């Protein structure tokens, strides 16, 4: 049904008996020609969508609070708890823990038994929010969103004409959120699903390749790749110096600093080397303006590597591989996979990707036997924005390249 907007709140002549729009601020005037017409159902549908979006944004605030304060891990696998028990277990303020529990219940993240006064984190939701090694552990994304809100001023300036947001301008929680978010996919899909779709890549890795991880961030992909293929040496490159510092520390922590190294470098300077090489199409997210350093050199051609026997290496990109059709990803629901492993109760024996999945299927699977659990990556305790001023001569990374891997 079409309606027109009224200039004043007073109904137009002849409209008094007409049906009134159900959306505030709109009245119907069926016997006068419309000035501007709107589809009421569409307005109402969008209002619903918008309110849902706002509810999601508000929920994310509480999710980050629950993550940073350790509320989800404290509830995972413990069964129903009262607010007082949870507050005691976490050392938090009982009344505000009660408020948090109520808000999370309204959001559908927790179940509540009013008679018993208890709250419970269901196992399936704990997989997403609390189980660090679960294939559905995605809570890092909430930190990314937080980082985006903390750089609203920079975004506003960028849209006014500053032409982009310095990657340096984002707060630590965003880098940390990226690491945690992508880590899940690297753990459960990189070796088992992504790399096998690139012809000849896995045998080269097994034979002991030199790998360049371009846009390595905190080094999760480099370290996991080196951990999976112990004959490979991996060199991570990233424009963002603080990320490289963090990646180096993680390599030392993992005892891999001999085989994995990290360097501050622009993707454009990493290749192509003396022979043609192939860079599979790289997806540049559009948070900031795509830049020349989206690493698509002029020599990049989908056929270059295959047509050139002298090619020193093949390139792959995580986004490219993840775009390959498959029946499961961290953003798709497990029921699409068949057969699907039945989920045991979470968190007690560790998660592992299927060892050798059929091509195109990344079904998740729990190991039969207990396996080591990776140490949890703790949430940052503070999230203050970094100073956004540019350093002289520093080439500032933008939110552009996801990750690219080159294998020699
Ligand atoms: C989405 S993050 C991915 C980080 C890492 N691959 C991971 O999964 O944790 C993209 C990374 O690309 C880096 N980057 C963007 N443009 C770059 C460029 N031209 N050269 C090198 N690194 C770049 C950013 O600094 C950032 O660390």
The reply to whether ligand 1 has any atom less than 6 angstroms from the CB of 330 is no
* 98 Cβ contact partners less than 8 Å away, ≥ 6 residues apart: 83, 87
Query: CA-to-CA distance for 325 and 304, rounded, in angstroms?
Result: 24
Q: Which of 58-62, 169-173, 193-197, 333-337 has the lowest mean pLDDT?
A: 333-337
Among the listed residues 252, 262, 251, the one whose alpha carbon sits nearest the alpha carbon of residue 224: 251
**What pLDDT was estimated at residue 36?**
72
pLDDT in tens, 181-237: 999 999 999 999 999 999 999 999 999 999 999 999 999 999 999 999 999 999 999
Check if the beta carbon of residue 134 is closer than 8 Å to that of residue 346: yes
CB of 140 sitting under 6 A from ligand 1: no
What pLDDT does 32 receive?
A: 61
Phi, psi of 2 (to 5 degrees): -105, 140
CA of 397 to the centre of ligand 1 (A): 8
Percent of the chain with pLDDT over 90: 53
- Phi/psi for 225 (5° steps) reads -65, -45
Of 164, 284, 394, 401, which is best to mutate to test ligand 1, by the most ligand atoms within 8 angstroms of its C-beta? 401
Please enumerate in sequence order all residues whose Cβ is within 8 A of that of 126, keeping only pairs 6 or more positions apart, or say none: 72, 75, 76, 77, 134, 346, 347
Q: Which residues, at least 6 apart from 82, have a Cβ–Cβ distance to it below 8 Å?
A: 116, 117, 118, 119
Block residue for tokens 């590597």: 305
Alpha helices in 69-209 (DSSP H): 71-75, 83-90, 94-106, 123-129, 140-149, 152-157, 172-185, 201-207
Dist. CA 223–CA 260, nearest whole Å? 7
- 61-72 burial, b at 16+ Cβ within 10 Å, e below that, comes to ebbbbbbbbbbb
Looking at per-residue pLDDT, the higher value among 67 and 272 belongs to 67
| Per-residue pLDDT tens over the stretch 319-372 | 433 332 222 222 222 333 333 333 344 443 455 544 433 333 333 333 333 333
Residue nearest to atom 3 of ligand 1 (CA): 402
Element (H, E) at 288: none
Tokens coding 168: 């340096």
Q: How many residues does the chain have?
A: 408
401 lines ligand 1 (CB under 6 A): yes
CA–CA separation, 110 and 90 (whole Å): 17
Query: Which residue has its alpha carbon closest to ligand 1 atom 2?
Result: 402
Atom 27 of ligand 1, residue of closest alpha carbon = 217
């Amino acid at each position: 049904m079409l309606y027109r907007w009224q200039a004043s709140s007073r109904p137009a002549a002849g409209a008094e008996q007409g049906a009134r729009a159900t959306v505030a601020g709109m009245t119907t005037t069926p016997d006068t020609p419309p000035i501007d017409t709107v589809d009421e159902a569409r307005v109402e549908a969008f209002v619903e969508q918008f309110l849902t979006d706002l509810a999601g944004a508000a929920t994310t605030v509480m999710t980050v609070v629950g993550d940073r304060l350790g509320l989800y891990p404290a509830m995972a696998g413990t069964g129903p708890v009262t607010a007082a028990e949870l507050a005691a277990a976490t050392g938090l303020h009982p009344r505000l823990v009660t408020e948090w529990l109520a808000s999370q219940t309204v959001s559908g993240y927790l179940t509540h038994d009013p008679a018993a006064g208890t709250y419970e984190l269901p196992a399936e939701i704990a997989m997403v929010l609390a189980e660090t090694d679960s294939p559905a552990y995605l809570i890092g994304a909430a930190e990314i969103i937080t980082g985006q809100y903390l750089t609203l001023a920079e975004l506003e300036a960028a849209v006014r004409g500053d032409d982009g947001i310095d990657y340096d301008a984002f707060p630590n929680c965003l880098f940390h959120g990226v690491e945690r978010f992508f880590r899940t996919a690297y753990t459960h899909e990189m070796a088992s699903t992504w790399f096998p779709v690139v012809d000849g890549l896995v045998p080269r890795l097994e034979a002991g390749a030199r790998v360049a991880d371009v846009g390595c961030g905190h080094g999760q992909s480099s370290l996991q790749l080196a951990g999976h293929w112990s004959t490979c040496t991996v060199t991570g490159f990233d424009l963002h110096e603080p990320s490289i510092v963090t990646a180096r520390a993680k390599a030392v922590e993992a005892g891999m600093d001999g085989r994995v190294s990290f360097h501050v470098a622009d993707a454009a300077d990493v290749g192509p080397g003396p022979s043609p090489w192939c860079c599979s199409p790289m997806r540049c997210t559009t948070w900031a303006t795509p830049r020349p350093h989206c690493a698509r050199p002029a020599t990049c051609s989908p056929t270059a590597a295959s047509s050139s026997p002298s090619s020193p290496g093949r390139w792959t990109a995580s986004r490219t591989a993840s775009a390959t059709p498959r029946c499961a990803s961290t953003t798709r629901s497990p029921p699409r996979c068949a057969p699907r492993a039945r989920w045991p109760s979470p968190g007690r024996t560790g998660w592992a990707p299927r060892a050798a999945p059929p091509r195109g299927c990344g079904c998740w699977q729990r190991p039969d036997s207990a396996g080591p659990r990776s140490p949890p990556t703790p949430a940052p305790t503070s999230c203050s924005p970094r100073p956004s001023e540019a350093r002289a001569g520093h080439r500032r990374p933008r939110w552009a390249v996801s990750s690219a891997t080159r294998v020699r």
